[in-house]
Amino acid sequence: MELLIQMILLVVGTAVINNFVLKYFVGICAFLGVSRKLSTAFGMGCAVTFVMAIAAFLCWTITYFILRPEAPLVVWVWGICGGEGAAPDLSILSYLVYIFVIAASVQFVEMYVRRFFPSLYKAFGVFLPLITTNCAILFACLEILKNLQDPAQLWGLHTALLYSIGGGLGFTLAISIMAGIREELDMADVPEPFRGVGIALITASILAMAFMGFSGVDKGVEKSLFAAPTEAVELQNSDSAGVSSTDSDSSRAADQSFDLKVSEKPNIEIEVEEMPGELANPA
């Protein structure tokens, strides 16, 4: 149950709090170019999410076995070839490999959309092939690389997939909201100097400031999800130690108050009035 909650928090935190478009400002080209109609924007968001998930899976696999320092496949091949010293670090090829992986994923999605959704393919126009150069997808792959280079902060495949899906859902959310607002702006009386790209950029900036209201919500989530395993264990131990110390302090204070109440015995004085002489010494 705890793992499921962490997965949900990771997806929601990536989609809403750490939105790729509205916080890191990546993927702006498609965000402004395909956000004129809500149906087209939603389709583009779904396509970007699908491509991002495929690219994250392939990039994580390639990075884990080949591109990261001391990659197992590279070490194995280096040992077979009789290489001396440490195995070469191929992380310098990450950008080139990631672009090829993203391009192949986009071609697969393009063939699928052209075959089964021809109207959506025509609506995308040139922006569907331009997903290859969508920096939001490359940003997700580079985040995976960053968290695979440090052995103490190693991302698993499920974490990389959830992070990419959350990033794609965040892109879909942002571009869909933007498209809905721009559809309303088409019927509004916008001053002529602000029409077109001008009002779109103003709207995007206001939308980004609105999403800034979620900043700080994920501080505790980031400590438990994105921290190194040793740091996460120390964090949990410190929390449990704090709770146990609080419980022990409260129990100690309760014992002291109980002892204090017991030690303070009430002084009850009984005053006996002297009886009249006739009643005290009866005849």
How many Cβ atoms are within 10 Å of 112's Cβ, its own excluded? 13
Tens digit of each residue's pLDDT, the chain (283 residues): 788 888 888 899 899 989 999 999 998 888 988 888 898 899 889 889 989 999 999 999 998 888 887 888 888 888 888 777 788 888 889 889 999 999 998 888 888 888 888 888 887 777 778 788 788 999 999 988 888 766 556 788 888 999 999 999 999 999 999 999 999 988 888 888 888 888 989 999 999 999 988 877 766 555 555 554 444 445 455 555 554 555 555 555 555 554 544 445 455 454 445 555 544 454 4
| Whole-angstrom distance, CA of residue 190 vs CA of residue 198 | 10
Judge whether 245 lies within some domain: no
Judge whether 36 lies within some domain: yes
Identify the DSSP state of 227. Answer: S
Judge whether 254 lies within some domain: no
Residue 148 is part of which domain span? Answer: 27-212
Judge whether 74 lies within some domain: yes
Judge whether 98 lies within some domain: yes
| Whole-angstrom distance, CA of residue 56 vs CA of residue 98 | 9
> How much is the pTM?
0.72
Q: How many structural domains compose the chain?
A: 1
| Whole-angstrom distance, CA of residue 10 vs CA of residue 23 | 16
Judge whether 263 lies within some domain: no
| Whole-angstrom distance, CA of residue 204 vs CA of residue 192 | 18
**Cβ–Cβ under 8 Å, residues 72 and 65:** yes
Tell the burial category of 186 from Cβ atoms under 10 Å away from its Cβ (0-12, 13-18, 19+). exposed
**Alpha-carbon distance values, 28 to 40, 42, 55, 158, 228 (Å):** 16, 15, 19, 27, 31
Judge whether 279 lies within some domain: no
Q: How many residues does the chain have?
A: 283
Task: Say what the alpha-carbon torsion angle 247, 252, 256, 261 is, to the nearest 10 degrees.
Answer: 40
Judge whether 178 lies within some domain: yes
